[in-house]
Structure 1
Amino acid sequence: MGDMSVHIDITGLRRERIAVVPSPLAELGMALHALAEPAHHPGLQGWATGVTARLDPHLADRMCEADFLWRTTFSDLFLPCAGIPGGTTLPGATLAEDLDLLDKLTDEQFVDAALEFTCALAYSSYGPHALSDPEVRRRAVDLAASRGPQQTRFTERLLEDPPRVRTWLRQFLEDCDEAFFAESWSRLRHQLAAEARHKTDLLRHKSLTEALTSVSPAVSLDETAGRLTVDKLTEGHTVTTDGGLLLVPTSLGRPHLLVLHRYGWQPVLHYPVGSPELAAPPSVEQLSLRMTALSHPVRMRICRHLARSAYTTGELAQVHGMTAPEISRHLSVLKKAGLITTRRRGRYVLHQLDVTVVARLGSDFLEGVLR
């Protein structure tokens, strides 16, 4: 399996350059995402239904006009502080302050981030801009066309008149704030502020590894190599922190753990606030091991027995008409994947399927692909 993680090179990064700050604009983006994709967020379905029921039809229509900014990809436009040169700007304390930061991005930055859904532009390296390069521009419109007329219209408007689209987006976000988000934010911001204080405290008083890995079970740190790794089902990337590292907690974002690693922008970890009752999801590698282990027809038949009762290797060999060493090999694959438990009773070793782990596979897979 190739490398599927995002790595952040934090060599020489001083602790005081790591900031944990909530962002009202990023949380509004997550709110829009949860409204557009309620199936990703079963825990928010009551909230989403309530908001949708009260939405003004005109605002609902405008929401559909650019929903690709938060539906299939989560646009970096929701974290504009990361694009301000110097790599040290923090999110605004209010939505208005965050929107002022969005206004500070250049037209090139705005267009690049807004066109991310077309994959027309280089993301983790410096590439030509759609505003100045006719070939990139043509490709962006072509890719938008494959997504339908709405995205084509938006893309053409964006390329022809970025300031007009920027004004449209700001007005739309302000209207969403008035319609539903201000009320949600007044409730959520206390939890997010408490989370930021707690993580800042860990950064000051605990080891860097403990502080950074407390963000999510999917985050690991190799302090010697100065490398922070986020386990994601994506192509491997390495990004360097020139300014600082920003951690932005979200209450509405689970199961998404997003890494902003756009070329020239400050890296950001946009992470869901921990829920102690949720078991830590397996790593992408463990998930892959489990699904591969279960995909073999013989192992599927073995699991059929082990799901009902505990069996010895000898019994399984007899039932399946195979030799004990052959069965042992299959059992060791299942065991390595964490799918069976083994216990000794006298001189017998009994194997049984861990039904809870198998039952969780569907949601673990979904969490892995949505992370």
Structure 2
Amino acid sequence: MAVTLVVEGAEARQFVYRASQLAELAAYLHALTHPEHHRGSRDLISSALIELPPSLLSRIRLWSPMWGVQRARFLFPLDLSSDVSFDQELQGVVDYPPDLFLETSAKCIIETLRDYSAQFPETRERLRNDLLTHTKRLSRERSEIATRILDDPDGCRKEIADILADAGTQPHFRRQWSAIKPRLAGEVMLRQRELQIRGGISIADTSDTARTYNDPTRVVFDKLYHAFASVKEESVVGVPSIWSAPHFVVKHVSGMPIVVQYPLHQAGPISFDLIAHRLEALNDPMRVKICYHILREPRATIDLAAQLNTSEAQISRNLRKLREAGLVIGERDGRVVRYRMNTDAVRRLGADFMDTLLH
């Protein structure tokens, strides 16, 4: 499954990179309400939970679906403007079109990618029924905010904007934003320069799992759902983020720029294919036994064959599977090749699996 952005025919002016205080705040709130997704931010999350007023934390948690798994579209840049203040971003939340607010909220609360179009009576009724039916099965809190959104969408937009304003002006977030803003600004400059040199295809650099193809020229991001968009028709805003890691977010709403929010980190999630390859490689008793022995000390094929009472050919076949998955490393010592475990890859397998699912 993948998200495909067709960049063929798009002009450089249709790509904009910008740091967004609102988008970073949304990523921050997501980390606070979904700490299990952000193992690398535990200390910062703990300090935030201590510093933030309990009443504000309660409001943040009540409206957590808006900055949850789906992340509401109104939390990201709404146009290609490169110089937008935090107050202007908050006003964009208040002014977000009512029909789009209803559609976005439904997807966030139900956590589905189902296509709703609230502007049409028949789909608006389906949306209302889905919200009321599904949220009753989810939780009382989600049922409550779903009812409120249906009854008073204008008031809810204002309430969400007020929560964002309160959270964004708290000392804890302001310290974090002041610390990371220069890094985000530097990233924006780098990406804009790459855009001028290489064109729209350079957006592939925002994800370690992205692949590029020709005819038409396109970038394919590894995701857990399918989506397709043409930059020539929609334009793109790239939003670097510190707090969003390990999530890579692509938001596509008709009539608005495509948003790509990507985390700045040293090593991103590895591909689903490699994760599956590694799990498959370890799904064999003989290979697990080989791992057991070479973890303790590097061994040659002949040693492993003797230890496991099997042929060298059988050992070689299994070692090849483990090497191809990046779990075993061969080191030549004269005429002998000894094999050892790639302990970092094995140790991180569970974490990589989680990060790739969250990506």
Q: Same fold (TM over 0.5)?
A: yes
Matched, 1:145 2:136: yes
Name structure 2 gaps, 5 residues minimum.
Answer: none
- Could you say what secondary structure the match of 1:6 adopts? strand
Q: Contact between 2:10 and 2:200, CA under 8 Å: does it hold in 1?
A: no
User: 1:169 offset after TM fit, Å?
Assistant: 1.1
The residue number in structure 2 matching 1:238 is 228
- Equivalent residue runs for 1:106-117 within 5 Å: 106-117=97-108
Q: What's the counterpart of residue 196 of structure 1?
A: 188
Q: Which stretch has the larger CA shift, 10-19 or 199-208?
A: 199-208
Partner of 2:326: 338
Q: Which residue of 2 aligns with 1:99?
A: 90
Q: 1:80 to 1:113 in 2, by over 3 A?
A: farther
Identify the residue that residue 364 of structure 1 maps to in structure 2. Answer: 352
Cα deviation, residue 67, structure 1: 0.9
Structure 2 CA distance for aligned equivalents of residues 122 and 360 of structure 1: 33
Task: Verify the 8 A CA contact 2:80 2:237 in the aligned structure 1.
Answer: no
Q: CA deviation at 1:18?
A: 0.8
Whether the 8 Å contact between 1:120 and 1:136 is mirrored in structure 2 is: no
Instruction: Report the 3-state secondary structure (helix = DSSP H, G, I; strand = E; otherwise coil) of the residue aligned with 2:225.
Output: coil
**8 Å CA contact 1:7, 1:237 repeated in 2:** yes
Q: What letter corresponds to residue 354 of structure 1 in structure 2?
A: N
**Does the CA-based 8 Å contact 2:70-2:107 persist in structure 1?**
yes
Show the counterpart of 1:310: 298
RMSD: 2.5
> What is the distance in 2 between the residues matched to 1:130 and 1:171?
30
Q: Which has the higher helix share?
A: 2
Equivalent residue of 2:19, what SS? Answer: coil
Relative to 1, partners in 2 of residues 1:260 and 1:344: Cα closer, same or farther, differing over 3 Å? same
1:9 to 1:130, Cα distance in 2 relative to 1, 3 A: farther
Q: Cα offset for 1:249?
A: 0.8
TM-score scaled by structure 2?
Answer: 0.90
What's 1:8 paired with?
A: 5
Deviations 1:220-268 (A, max 9, x none): 3335531111123x02322222131110111211111111134454211
TM superposition shift of 1:300: 0.9
SS in 1 for 2:3: strand
The 8 Å contact of residues 77 and 114 in structure 1, kept in 2 or not, is answered as no
Matches within 5 A, 1:141-220: 141-180=132-171, 181-206=173-198, 208-209=200-201, 211-220=202-211
Higher deviation after alignment, 9-18 or 305-314: 305-314
In structure 1, the partner of 2:23 is: 26
Listed as ranges, the gaps of 5+ residues in structure 1 are 82-87
State the TM-score, normalizing by the size of structure 1.
0.87
Change (3 A) 1:59 1:359: same
- Is contact 1:131–1:137 with CA below 8 Å preserved after alignment? no
Structure 1: how far apart are the matches of 2:66 and 2:106? 8
Q: Which moved more, 1:256-265 or 1:169-178?
A: 256-265
1:78 to partner: Cα distance: 0.7
Contact 2:246 2:269 in 1 (8 A): no
**Which residue is equivalent to 1:53?**
50
Alpha-carbon distance in 2 for matches of 1:189, 1:345: 49
Number of residues of Structure 1 aligned to a counterpart in Structure 2: 356
Which shifted more, 308-317 or 239-248?
A: 308-317
In the other structure, the counterpart of 1:297 is 285
Distance apart, 1:198 and its partner CA: 1.6
Name the SS of the counterpart of 1:248 in structure 2.
strand
- Work out whether residues 132 and 147 of structure 2, in 8 Å CA contact, stay in contact via their aligned partners in 1: yes
